[in-house]
Amino acid sequence: MHSDLSFDNDASRHFVPLIVAVMVYLATLALAGSMSIGGAVDQWRDAVRGSMTVQLPGRPGGQTSPEAVANIKAITDALLATPGVASAAPLPDSDIQALLEPWLGDADLPADLPVPILIDVTLDDGVSLDPKGLAQRLAVIVSGVQVNDSGASLERLVRLARSVQWVAGIIVALVGAAATAIIIFAARAGMSAHRKTIELLHLIGAHDSYIARQFQFRLLVLSLIGGVLGLVFGAVTLLVLTLLSSQVQASLVPRLSLTAPQWAILAMLPILGTAVATVTARMTVSRSLRQSL
C-alpha cells in the first residue's frame, strides 16, 4: 500500500513487532497451559469416575502369604456383597511396585517389606458409597483397613487446576490489554512524529479516513510480523516442553499435549492480535484527528 507518510525512520518499526511478539508468546504459553490442564482434568475424572481403593495393611511375603490371602478373600467377599459394588479385585504386586517405582526405583522390593495391599473397587453407574461407613464395616473383618475415595481426593486437585486456568485466562486478558495500550501509544507517537506531514495532507484535501488508513496498515503489518514471530517461538517452546513432559512418569503430572483444534486456536492468536491492533490504530488515529481540528 502506497503511503504519503515516511515510516522508514519511525521508531515503531522496531519496538512494535518486538513487544507484540513478546505479548503473543506469553499469551500462547498461558492459553496452551490452560487447555492442557483442562484436558488433564478430564482424563483424571474419567480415570477415577465410579472407583474406590481399599487398602489393607501389608504383610511380609506380599499377597502370597497365607494371612494376606485370607484377608484379601474376606474383604473382597464383603465388598462384592455390598450393594452398588460392581467389582473388587486386588492389584497385582507388579502394579503396586510400578506405583512405588518413582520413589523407590525399579529394583525389586525386599520380600520382607510390608507393602500395603490395594483392592481396586468399581461401583455401579451413578452409585456413591460413604468411605467412612464402608471403612468401619471392613475394619470389623480386618483391622487397619482404609478406604480411599478417589473422586473426593480428585475434586481438591480439580479445584486447584481450575484456579490455575482462571489465572491463565487473566494473564491472556492482561496481555491483550497491554498490547492494546502499546498500539495506542505507537499510533499517537506516530501522529506526533508526522504532524507536519498530516497538516500538509489536510491542506491539499486529504480526508481523515485516508490518513487513518495509512497508520492502520502500517501497524497491521508490524503487529502481524510480531505476532507470527511470537507464535513461532511459543510453538517451539511448547514442543520442547511436550518432549520433556513425555519423559515424566508421575501419573498426576499433566502432560503438555494439545489436539489439532487446540493448535488451530493458538495459530489464530497472531490474526486476532493483528485485528485488534488494526481496529485500535484506526480508532486512535481517527479520534486524534477529530480532536486536532
Average confidence (pLDDT) over 20-24: 89
Higher pLDDT, 137 or 293: 137
pLDDT category at 254 given cuts 50, 70, 90 is low
Coil, helix or strand at residue 60: coil
Q: What is the pLDDT of residue 62?
A: 64
Model confidence over 171-216: pLDDT tens digits?
888 888 888 888 888 878 777 766 777 667 667 766 767 777 777 7
Contact 280, 183 (CB under 8 A): yes
pLDDT for the residue numbered 287: 80
Q: Poorest-confidence range of 2-11, 20-29, 259-268?
A: 2-11
Please give the average per-residue pLDDT across 141-149, as a whole number. 84
Q: Which carries the bigger pLDDT value, residue 27 or residue 210?
A: 27
Model confidence at 234, in pLDDT bands (50, 70, 90)? very high
Checking if the pLDDT of 2 tops 60, the result is no
**What does the domain layout of the chain look like in residue ranges?**
12-46+154-292, 51-127
* pLDDT-above-70 percentage for the chain: 76
What crossing angle do the helices spanning 150-193 and 195-203 adopt, rounded to 10°? 60
Which letter does DSSP use for residue 250 in this model? -
Q: What is the pLDDT of residue 152?
A: 64
Is the pTM of the predicted complex or chain greater than 0.75?
no
Q: Which residues contact 40 (CB under 8 A, 6 or more apart)?
A: 161, 254, 255
Q: What span, in angstroms and rounded, lies between the C-alpha atoms of 182 and 249?
A: 43
E-only strand ranges, 157-227: none
Task: Name the E strands within 70-151.
Answer: 85-90, 117-123, 146-149
Which cell numbers in the block locate residue 113? 517389606
Mean pLDDT of the chain: 78
If phi > 0 it is left, if psi is from -120 to 50 it is alpha, else beta; for residue 243 that is alpha
What average pLDDT does range 82-95 have in this prediction? 82
3-class SS of residue 89 = strand
